[in-house]
Amino acid sequence: MWVAANDRSRSYSDGHLGDKCLAQLPDGVTAGMDSVRLIDIVWLTTDSHEVAAAFEVEHSTSIYSGIVRMLDLALGTHVGKNSTLFLVAPDNRRDEVEQQPCRPAFSRVSDLNIRYLPYSQLKEHRQPIARFGAGIKPLMEISQQLQRRMHAK
């Protein structure tokens, strides 16, 4: 697992967010794009040759920039093209999250399986996922795929 380069030294519990995580991303993941190093969490397969999932947590920062980083991973690297991408944000930002795929620049969002994971779902299901969860399936169940919606004129 990878924690964003700019968050690695943040205090967490008795240590730091980056403790016990990869010190650097494998070459195929970054593919020369520094933006990928700033994705909050990159979940790599056991052999680190593919990205299983990526998570952008947008508590107060721009939803737009989080989606751009995930698009860079999915469209700009061969190891990120089949990954599941999660935009994690507070419930009160749902409308903002759902509006982003309507932007012409994000026309590929629906094709890339970017999913919205609201805080309330993580809070509600955290303990069962920690106890019984294995892999990405529980997160798929509590998140929703972002869809491009066409606005009627």
Tens digits of per-residue pLDDT, 78-103? 877 788 999 999 999 999 888 888 88
Number of domain units in the chain? 1
Spatial separation of the C-alpha atoms in residues 89 and 97, rounded to whole Å: 8
Provide the pairing of β-strand 114-118 with 84-89: parallel
Q: Which of 71-75, 82-86, 145-149 has the lowest mean pLDDT?
A: 145-149
Q: What does pTM read for this prediction?
A: 0.87
Which amino acid is present at 127? Q
Provide the pairing of β-strand 51-57 with 114-118: unpaired
Helix (H/G/I), strand (E/B), else coil: 75: helix
16: in domain: yes
150: in domain: no
Residue-number span of the structural domain to which 110 is assigned: 2-145
Half-sphere exposure (Cβ direction) of 136: Cα atoms closer than 13 Å: 17
153: in domain: no
Cα separation of the two ends of the chain: 45
151: in domain: no
